[in-house]
Structure 1
């Protein structure tokens, strides 16, 4: 892991072995990433990625495995797509001044034999502490692939007390408690795009264990129009996930049938953007 910060928190640890996702995230001296308090879905790539604060899902598949169309061997897309475990080529790294910035390229081999290039740009504003992520995914292969993307932001839920709530315009007025749904875990997905607004915002807090800070997450809704929320308290898991995503919670076949699964053609690019801060 490579430390990435401005001298003030959050202090991030980026993972060059897996698309420069975030491993540790230090706030008020505490690593809020879930670590080993996660479920094991049987894929060591995702097991490693899920330990961290943020990992990226896609670019050919999101969520759980599904069959690759047109193949007779029964091969499936991997859990959460092909990004995880691809090493990053770091092009620029500057953490000396008031702000922090880095850029990287990640060549990605897709499950169906195609290829993609992830161009990743991280920044931290040294004054506000806001972290910015801008991604561009380009189809560098010769065949189309599904234009899908998800950011998994995972927090160790042992940090939360009964006063921690989720709020945002995509929820009912007043928001909802962090431990929503039925125990020991639950998942739901809501439409986050609102007419006339390019960005959606969700807040989680106040978190007493982090000096009553609230995590605020913003994401561009032109490419990430949905917000998926996930939690799992089935021991040893104790994790909450905030997950901006390109598609609603549905089987891949259903999305294809309803013409919701758009394709990224050879040479085409898609852009995604995420911001977060602890305030």
Structure 2
């Protein structure tokens, strides 16, 4: 793990052993990641990654396993795709003028044997404390391939009280309490058009243990046009996830039939971005 922080903002730990995702996210002296209070779906890669504050799904598949084409002998796409557990090659880590920056590449071979590269840049603005993530997924294979991406931002539910709310223009009524739906949890996925420039925005808070601050998440509505939110309070699980995502929450075959795959030609790339801040 790499300690990563700036003059202002959260103190992060970046996991160079798994895609340079975020393990710990410390605000007000408290690590808001869910740690062990997460579900175990039987995939060791994801069991590790889901304990952290942010992990990345894709690029060959998102969400739960689904059957691959018949020529793959009955195999399934892996849970949340092939990125997790792939090590990152760190190109630089810089702490200058109060800011923090980390640049890394991740080479991954997907379930179909086709290679991708994730080019990742983390930056924390030392004046505002806002954390920025810029990703570029490149098709490094010799054939056209679809690309998917989802960011799981997981927060430990034990830090929430009845005053914590989700708010955003994409939500029914503009927002509702964090413990939406029936117990012990639920999930929804909604279109998330931009509300300011190219950005969609959702907030969660106030969180008392985080100095009463609210988590604001912005994400590029062009390539992440949906927001998925899930919560699970089935003991001992206690987590809520904010998940900007590239595709609707339907089966892969339905997306393909509707022409909703994002196809990259050999050498082509697709850019994704999000930011978050505690305000």
1:221 alignment counterpart: 221
2:121 alignment counterpart: 121
CA RMSD across the alignment:
1.2
Distance 1:9 1:220 in 2: 21
TM-score relative to the length of structure 2? 0.97
Q: How many residue pairs align between the two structures?
A: 279
Q: Is the 8 A contact 1:9 1:26 kept in 2?
A: no
Distance 1:217 1:255 in 2: 26
Distance 1:227 1:137 in 2: 20
1:204 alignment counterpart: 204
What whole-Å deviation, never above 9, does each CA across 1:83-103 have from its counterpart, x for those lacking one? 000000000111253000010
Deviation of the 1:128 alpha carbon: 0.6
In the alignment, structure 1 segments of 5+ residues that lack a partner are none
Distance 1:85 1:174 in 2: 36
Q: Is the 8 A contact 1:133 1:273 kept in 2?
A: yes
TM-score relative to the length of structure 1? 0.97
> Compared with structure 1, are the counterparts of its residues 144 and 131 closer, same or farther at alpha carbon in structure 2 (3 Å cutoff)?
same
> Compared with structure 1, are the counterparts of its residues 226 and 32 closer, same or farther at alpha carbon in structure 2 (3 Å cutoff)?
same
Distance 1:20 1:83 in 2: 10
Secondary structure of residue in 1 paired with 2:14: strand
2:233 alignment counterpart: 233
2:38 alignment counterpart: 38
Secondary structure of residue in 2 paired with 1:79: coil
1:182 alignment counterpart: 182
Distance 2:232 2:142 in 1: 39
Higher mean alpha-carbon deviation, 25-34 vs 61-70, is at: 61-70
1:49-64 matches, within 5 Å, as 49-64=49-64
In the alignment, structure 2 segments of 5+ residues that lack a partner are none
Distance 2:54 2:97 in 1: 24
What whole-Å deviation, never above 9, does each CA across 1:229-253 have from its counterpart, x for those lacking one? 0000001110000000001110001
Distance 2:163 2:203 in 1: 13
What stretches of structure 1 move > 6 A for 4+ residues in a row? none
Distance 1:211 1:238 in 2: 21
Deviation of the 1:52 alpha carbon: 0.2
Q: Is the 8 A contact 2:9 2:126 kept in 1?
A: no
Q: Is the 8 A contact 2:9 2:131 kept in 1?
A: no
Q: Is the 8 A contact 1:216 1:276 kept in 2?
A: yes
Higher mean alpha-carbon deviation, 210-219 vs 137-146, is at: 137-146
Distance 1:182 1:229 in 2: 14
2:47 alignment counterpart: 47
Find out whether 1:84 has 2:84 as its counterpart.
Answer: yes
1:245 alignment counterpart: 245
1:1-150 matches, within 5 Å, as 1-150=1-150
Distance 2:195 2:273 in 1: 18
Distance 2:6 2:125 in 1: 8
Secondary structure of residue in 2 paired with 1:259: coil
